[in-house]
Structure 1
Amino acid sequence: MINYNPKEWFTFIFRFHKADTFRKLFPLMIAVSLYGFILAYLELEYWSLINSSYVKNLSLMHSVLGFVISLLLVFRTNTAYDRWWEGRKQWGALVNVSRNLSIKLAGYLEDESDRLYLSKLIPLYARTLRGHLRANVNSDEISDLVEIDKTHIPNQIALRISGRIFELHKQHKISSEQLIILTKDIDVFTDVCGACERIKNTPIPFSYNVFIKKFIFFYVMTLPIGWVFSFGYFVVPIVVFVLYVFASLELIAEEIEDPFGSDANDLPLDTMCNNIEKHVKEILN
């Protein structure tokens, strides 16, 4: 995730970074500019369609379609941001429950070995959930605590935490009331995992996604046909700018609808995992 000062807005105009859509769209913008120039030349110089009222009236159609495509892109962007924000709330809940569970365990447990073991397992859940969502679990950091025998590693970590809590209850190190309180916190781990999997595994419907891309493509490709008589060869940069705006909104929506990756605009999962580990160890150790 990119850290920035939102008050320094003037610097954003001249700043380019790897997440900027201009870099990704630059080859397509060059191709569209060549297409627009060739089409403008043919209409103005070769075909001589400047007196054709049918071609001129295409600009009216583009005005209506531009309003429609703007509404579609607003809905698309809002839907993608809702997924990004929902992922942020779930990981915020994971941070909070890790701290709350650690604080309660620090008050309940007197045995240092029990506290040390759980201080390793609780942050391990966050790290394995991050790897699970990215389909890249680091087995080296798990092997010394948990035997990997299943595909869903976060469930194994939650099972070890819950099993250790119940074992402490059998050893009369925590009471039944304390067990109930701790179990509620452990349930939140699985709830967060399920919510993140729902976001990860439920993309925007395929037909809707394809329709927007086709709509943008045909809208931009037909712009020079009607606008060339109003703007002349200036229609080339105008069409490229329209493409940049519409396609950038679609690219941004694609990037943030899966907030658990390692792109520049994704959630800072590495930072949150490190914070969980630091805070849990401060509390339990």
Structure 2
Amino acid sequence: MNDHYGMGISSRSTTSYFTSSTPSMAPDEQHDILEGIFFGPRDIVRHSKWPYFLRLQGSVLPRMIIPLLFVGIWSTTIVCVSKLVYDLGISSVLLTITGFVVGLSLSFRSSTAYERYTEGRKYWSQLLLTSRNTARLIWVHVAERNHDADGKETPEIAKQDLLNKIGAINLLNAFAVALKHRLRFEPSVEYPDLAPLLTGLDTLAGAADQAELHHRKPSPIKAAGQYLGISFAESNPRKLIKRAKHNLGNTPLEILTYLSAYFEAVYQAKMLALPIGQAQCMNNLASLGEVLAGVKRVVNTPLPVAYSISIAQITWAYVITLPFQLVKTLGWVAIPATILAGYIILGLAAIGRELENPFGQDVNDLPLDAYCHELANDIDALISRPPPLKLEDWMRGGGAKVMWPLSGMEYKTWESKSVEEIRDLLKAKAASIDVKRERVMTMKMSEGLTPVVQDPEKSKA
């Protein structure tokens, strides 16, 4: 939820192709150890060997410092008064009754928060899948013309068509990056990972004054308050949008409009002749529009405030009354017992608040930068080679082993066989036990397991 912690922008520069596959951090973030541990989103590529109960990254411990300090002072006061002045202890029956209500409310809060988290992940999976399919349709099925309208051979037209295809595919990257910034309430178009992808596009946000659309660095006191989770130090994450003097529009939606215009030009030029290809492109654009509407629904429909207030009041009332109920049976041990119970109960409530918006900058939020970078790398790999339209180059000329694992002979060898012989071999391939055994052994070897070679004679017996 803490969208105000900074922008965490990662630029996809030329050097990023040859270095890490994960988004790079800003220089000041690389030297800030605490920010690397307690701010995110978490780098999904990194692997930690520490046991979970000893890990700090992803923990809500920083936000629990102030609440636990208050709980410790409160419980110490109650226990000291009960032991030294007047007995304030009450029956533990209330502990049993209210414990059920607290458990029910925390379960409700956790389930609704995790549901929003998984729903956000599903929408981004849909975005990645649709973008990859659309990029493949453009790269393979959109033709590159070699002749002009008069039938004259013109290489320049093919070059323009190729560049247009690359530009349209880059718009898919632009849509993902623009959606990431919109979900984090960052309306500017001058972010390093977005500005190069929007070059030449006329957007409403691009026409606005960009100086007013960037977050200002918070003061040290405010930054410390945000780090500790103090509500009075948190800013409205939508403040840049509220203070804007111009209509900032909807940049991801405007990008989809430019993509739709590209497909219309392709249809008019008859560069995508198959109707099913045209329908698939339109369906993919509709799917991206569905993603845009879905993630905005997740962001703009939080848990009703009445539930949030009630859950907060129930949990705090339970923690505050704990020392009164524990002092009779535990004595001075009621102080650490109350702190421990407070950490468990208030910590679960804090996790629910953190997961309520899965698109922010918390460690446990979805790594949107990594998703955008993954999509960019997949598209770069797709367009790094010409579309494999000539089967001679990779099927016959590549020596495909079409009868593997029944036979390791290449494509050219089987050309000397008749159609009947090939069909008979296919029938034998389906009925062969050795083929199935070979596939099982190959699968085990791919999983790093030691293959078990059985004697065919023993198998028959």
Q: In the alignment, does 2:201 pair up with 1:168?
A: no
Counterpart CA distance in 2 for 1:227 and 1:66 is 13
Matches within 5 A, 1:173-188: 173-175=271-273, 177=275, 178-188=277-287
Letter in 2 for 1:97: T
1:145-180 Cα offsets, whole Å, 9 max, x none, are: 311225100010000001110111111212260221
Deviation per residue, 1:69-99 (Å, 9 max, x gap): 1121011101100100010010001000111
- Partner AA of 1:16 in structure 2: L
Q: Secondary structure at the match of 2:51?
A: helix
CA change 1:245–1:65 in 2 (3 A) is same
User: Given the alignment of the two structures, is residue 12 of structure 1 paired with residue 43 of structure 2, yes or no?
Assistant: no
C-alpha change, 1:164 and 1:16, in structure 2 (3 Å) is same
Question: Structure 1: how far apart are the matches of 2:257 and 2:186?
Answer: 20
Structure-2 residue corresponding to 1:52: none
- Give the distance between the partners of 2:164 and 2:87, measured in 1 at CA: 85
Ranges of 4+ aligned residues in structure 1 off by more than 3 Å: 3-6
Displacement, 1:5? 5.3
1:126 aligns with 2:126: no
Kindly state the Cα deviation for residue 112 of structure 1 after the two structures are TM-superposed.
0.7
SS of match in other structure, 2:82: helix
For residue 136 of structure 2, the aligned residue among 103, 109, 121 is 103
CA distance in 2, matches of 1:39, 1:122: 60
- Between the two proteins, what is the percent identity of the paired residues? 24
The structure showing larger relative contact order (alpha-carbon pairs under 8 Å, at least 6 residues apart) is: 1
Count of aligned pairs between the two proteins = 276
| Deviation (angstroms), 1:40 | 1.1
Residue 79 of structure 1 is matched in structure 2 by: 112
- Which runs of 5 or more residues in structure 2 are unaligned? 1-40, 145-160, 205-247, 385-461
**What code does the residue aligned with 1:40 have?**
V
**Structure 1: runs of 5+ lacking an equivalent:** 50-54
Work out the CA distance in 1 between the residues paired with 2:80 and 2:360.
45
Say whether residues 1:31 and 2:70 are aligned partners: yes
Q: What's the counterpart of residue 275 of structure 1?
A: 374
Residue aligning to 1:194: 293
- 1:143/1:56 CA distance change after superposition, 3 Å: closer
Determine which structure has the larger helix proportion and give its number.
Answer: 1
**Correspondence 1:262 to 2:388:** no
- Aligned mate of 2:167, from 111, 117, 123: 117
> How high is the TM-score relative to the length of structure 1?
0.91
Alpha carbons 1:122, 1:280 under 8 Å: kept: no
CA positional deviation for 1:24: 1.4
Question: Which has the larger Rg?
Answer: 2
CA distance, structure 1, for counterparts of residue 254 and residue 269 of structure 2? 22
1:56 aligns with 2:155: no
- Residues 133 and 197, structure 1, Cα contact 8 Å, conserved in 2: yes
Q: What residue is the counterpart of 2:199 in the other structure?
A: 144
User: For residues 171-196 of structure 1, what are the alpha-carbon distances to aligned partners after superposition, in whole Å with 9 as ceiling and x for unaligned?
Assistant: 12122602212101111110001000
Q: Is the 8 A contact 2:102 2:314 kept in 1?
A: yes
Q: Distance in 2 between matches of 1:138 and 1:122?
A: 18
The Cα shift of 1:237 comes to 0.6
User: Does the C-alpha gap of structure 1 residues 5 and 275 become closer, same or farther in structure 2, counting only changes over 3 Å?
Assistant: closer
Cα deviations by residue, 1:178-225 (Å, 9 ceiling, x for unpaired) = 221210111111000100000000010001001111111111111111
Q: 1:238 aligns with which of 334, 337, 353?
A: 337
CA gap 1:66/1:5 in 2 versus in 1, 3 angstroms: farther
Tell whether the 8 Å contact from 1:105 to 1:284 is kept in structure 2 after alignment. Answer: no
Residues 234-253 of structure 1: per-residue CA shift (max 9 Å, x gap)? 10111111110111111111
Report the secondary structure of 1:262's partner residue.
coil
d(CA) in 1 for partners of 2:135 and 2:59? 40
For 1:14 and 1:272, the matched residues in 2 are separated by 28
For residues 224 and 155 of structure 1, the distance between their equivalents in structure 2, rounded to whole angstroms, comes to 55
1:16, 1:120 → 2: CA distance?
38
Q: CA RMSD in A?
A: 1.7
Contact persistence 1:227–1:235 (CA under 8 A): yes
Q: 1:226 to 1:184 in 2, by over 3 A?
A: same
Q: Give the letter for the 2:306 counterpart.
A: S
* Cα displacement (A) at 1:61: 1.0
Relative to the length of structure 2, the TM-score reads 0.57
1:212 maps to which residue? 311
CA distance in 2, matches of 1:188, 1:240: 49
Give the partner amino acid of 2:166.
L
1:273 aligned partner, one-letter code: C
One-letter code aligned to 1:120: N
Are the equivalent residues in 1 in contact too, given 2:174–2:198 (CA < 8 A)?
Answer: no
Q: Distance in 2 between matches of 1:5 and 1:72?
A: 34
* Matching of residue 93 in structure 1 with residue 126 in structure 2: yes
Aligned partners of 2:356 and 2:87: how far apart in 1? Answer: 46
